[in-house]
Chain A
Amino acid sequence: MIAENTQTQMRKGILEYCILSIISRGEIYASDIIGELKKAQLLVVEGTLYPLLTRLKNNGLLSYTWKESSSGPPRKYYQITDEGRAVLSRLDVTWKELVFAVETSLQGRND
């Protein structure tokens, strides 16, 4: 149980970081984000993404614009905001720190 909990916590943190970095590359549609995440084997179902996107948007890290679609309803295209970029750069630093921390810890274990 604790293991699962830790796993999901770890995943969740990384997931938001990854979404931010995917969107920072340029304007993108939600299902394309999912495609990317699926490729990275981070996410299995689409339904999980929408709450995350909404939360990031509500925190001012993302914004979106409606765009007409050739097939079906208009789509929401997400882009990163300046605040999002600031957060992302901070997260980049954190991530490096984390990688360092984890690697150091693992090194210690492997030796």
Chain B
Amino acid sequence: MNRTIIININSIVFHIEEDAYDTLRSYMIDIKKHFGNTAESKEILEDIENRIAEMFNERIQTGRKEVINLDDVQRVIEQMGRVSDFEESEGTTVEEDFRDEQQAGQAPHVEYVGKKLMRDPDDKMLGGVCSGLAHYFGIEPIWIRIVLVLFFLLGGSGVLAYIILWIVMPIAETRADKMAMRGEEPNLQNFKKSFDQEAKSFSETFSGTGERIGRGARTAGNLLSGCLGLIGKMIAWVMLIFAGLNLLGLFIFYMFNMMNLFGLENPMFFPPLKGLATNDAILALTFGFLAIAIPFFALFFWLTRILFKTDKLNSYLSLTMFAAWIVSIIGIIYYCIATSQDFREKSTINVQKSIQPQEVYYFTEKDIRVLDASEQDSLKSKFNIQLDGQDLRNYLHRDISIYFESIDSLSQPYIQYSYSAKGKTYQLASERAHNIAYEAIQEDKTLLFPSHFLLKKNALDRDQQVTVTVYLPQGAKVVLQREIEHKIRDISYWECRNNYPNENQQKYTEWTMSGVGLLCAQPPKPKEEEEVKSKKKALLDDVEIKKDSIIRIDGSNVTIEVKDNNVKINTKKEES
């Protein structure tokens, strides 16, 4: 069996066998090169092509066949004559004249044959990109492969470059392509050389292995379906459904996450993706999807093959899938490493903002997730975000700590904000720290601390923190609202709240700034129960000591008489 190609010579269609086509093509290329590229030569070529078409037609009609084969092409070429025949009949001087005429300014006999950048299917590890590049630069493919691996290790750019090149570079399918790839002149001599090479390598590498693998898989499949019988089939069915559902689930998960990444908000969001820029997240998500889905797909397909005895997967497709799987795994590892690298350096930026001195400072929290109608839109415009629905949830950060420090009683109070973030380099970290937007708002005596901080410019989640230190002069009175309790560090809000009579309903605590920091202004409440207990204990101690005594419990007409180790309790009613 022979593959045929459909060609069109001067709008006449011929079916031509593949090897015949290759020969014809290289012959035509030879001729084109011989005649150069001018209006005159175009006409000559047209005449020649026309004549070839006519001769093919004659051969088809006389031979009563449909397809042009190699023999036909060779006969036609013989009749038309090769380039060497033309040169002979024209004579060298004539040819030189001709060339000078056509290609003035171009050195005769120096023929530059441009190489074509194509993937080499005969010498490939994945897609033949490396060997294609190697042909192009005229070096051994191993060097390109080493460089690519180095690029991958140094930052992963190699993977992306490889994938792009794989897509962009065409594969050298025909012999003429391969010769163009190697930069050989596509004439008949080289063509023959190429054919011999190919035949050799083909017989060496391919003939055995592929067939053997195929046969192995087939017998394994038969054996399995034979041995396991019904139970095996049931297990296979369960596994098939399991694999199918997994694939479906993965696909849905993938699609919804993709929608999220492309701005179509939905609740299905995979949190680790937040740590990546959108472009990276798309790639990482795809890698992750492929890395998990491909094994499931392979399982699924294998099971369908066993259950339904379908054909095995095209070997090219399965190789591509395997390659994609490997690339995905490498991609995921790369993103894990790259992202963890992005937490290496930490940068902190300190900003001091003075606050108006007051006698009493009220500290409270403002939950920015709730917009209240009377509020100015200052927050919204300041941070330029949409405060609706889940949109917010992904971008709000609440790693905020508030500390209190004392300063001299005459000094101006101020707040120091420390913004910190992490990054691959110190510079990157400090850039991220700069993008934190967080500041308290003073309204007379009240200092409003927003509940969350925001990141400007869609910054990545890189362990951003805000530490607020409030410096207040000694003697200042502070009221801490309960909402802000969870942000306050160092002092025990809870203990102070316990000092209030009704601690669970207490909405605030009062403090005074002292030399050692904030002190609870509320004195501890009298500990009634403990007092009673200790009184009773003291009483009992008395009982022990005094052997003979009468204890009268006030107001209850009860007397306890202790006499000669006997205790007598009287509950006489007092005579009125």
Residues of A bordering B, CB below 8 Å = 4-5, 8-9, 11-12, 30-31, 43-48, 50-51, 53-55, 58, 69, 71-73, 75-76
Closest 7 A/B residue pairs (Cβ): A45-B81, A8-B91, A72-B57, A47-B81, A72-B54, A50-B47, A47-B80
B89 at the interface (CB under 8 A from A): yes
When distances are taken between beta carbons in the complex, the residues of chain B under 8 Å from A5 are 91-93
Q: Is B498's CB within 8 Å of the partner chain A?
A: no
Contact A50/B44 with A9-B91, A71-B57 known, Cβ cut-off 8 Å: yes
Chain B residues with Cβ below 8 Å from A51 are 35, 44, 86, 90
> Are B94 and A50 within 8 A (Cβ)?
no
Could you say which of A44, A69, A72, A73 has the most chain B C-beta atoms within 10 Å of its C-beta?
A: A72
Selected from A47, A53, A72, the residue in CB contact (under 8 A) with B85 is: A47
B490, CB-defined interface residue at 8 Å: no
Q: Which of A11, A45, A55, A76 has the most CB of B within 10 A?
A: A45
Q: Which residues of A contact B51 (CB under 8 A)?
A: 30-31, 46, 50
What is the interface size of chain B, counting residues whose CB is below 8 A from a CB of the partner?
Answer: 33
Beyond the given pairs A54-B44, A73-B57, 6 more chain A to chain B contacts, judged by CB atoms under 8 angstroms and listed by A's residue number, are: A9-B91, A9-B93, A45-B78, A51-B44, A51-B86, A72-B54
Q: Which residues of A contact B88 (CB under 8 A)?
A: 8
Chain B interface SS verdict (over half): helix
Interface presence of B50 (CB below 8 A): yes
Contact A48 B40 (CB under 8 A): no
Task: Please provide the chain B residues from 158 to 189 with a CB less than 8 Å away from any CB of chain A in the complex.
Answer: none
**C-alpha spacing A8/B97, complex, angstroms:** 14
Q: B10 contacts the other chain (Cβ, under 8 Å)?
A: yes
Q: Which residue of A lies closest to B39 (CB)?
A: A58
| A58→B101 CA distance, assembly (Å) | 14
B12 at the interface (CB under 8 A from A): yes
- Chain A nearest CB from B78 CB (Å) reads 8
Residues of B near A54 (CB, < 8 A) are: 40, 43-44, 47
Which residues in A have their C-beta under 8 angstroms from that of B86?
45, 47-48, 51
User: Residue on A with the closest CB to B91?
Assistant: A8
CB distance from A71 to the nearest CB of B (A): 5
Is B408 among interface residues, defined by CB-CB distance under 8 A?
A: no
B58 at the interface (CB under 8 A from A): yes
A80 to B31 CA separation, bound complex (whole angstroms): 27
B74 CB to nearest A CB, Å: 13
Cβ-closest chain A residue relative to B11: A73
**Interchain CA distance A51-B122 in the complex, whole Å:** 40
**Is B40 touching A55 in the complex (CB atoms < 8 A)?**
yes
Whether B150 sits at the interface, judged by CB under 8 Å, is no
Query: B35, B53, B85: which contacts A73 (Cβ < 8 A)?
Result: B53
* Residue contact B89 to A53, C-beta cutoff 8 Å: no
Is the Cβ of A46 less than 8 Å from the Cβ of B79?
yes
Smallest beta-carbon distance B256→chain A, Å: 59
Contact of A44 among B31, B56, B61, B81 (CB under 8 A): B81
Instruction: Write the nearest CB–CB distance from A31 to chain B, whole angstroms.
Output: 7
List B residues 419-470 near A (Cβ within 8 Å): none
Residue pair A12, B57 in contact (C-beta under 8 Å):
no
| Interfacial chain B residues near A50, Cβ < 8 Å | 44, 47-48, 51
A46-B80, A50-B44, A55-B40 given; A73·B50 CB < 8 A: yes
Between-chain CB contacts (< 8 Å), 21 pairs: A4-B91, A9-B91, A44-B85, A44-B89, A45-B78, A45-B82, A45-B85, A46-B79, A47-B80, A48-B86, A54-B40, A54-B47, A71-B57, A72-B12, A72-B57, A73-B9, A73-B50, A73-B53, A75-B50, A76-B47, A76-B50
- CA of A43 to CA of B94, assembled, Å: 17
Please, which residues of chain B bring their CB within 8 A of the CB of A45? 78-82, 85-86, 89
Complex alpha-carbon distance, A55 and B97, angstroms: 14
Chain A positions within 8 Å of B9 at CB level: 73
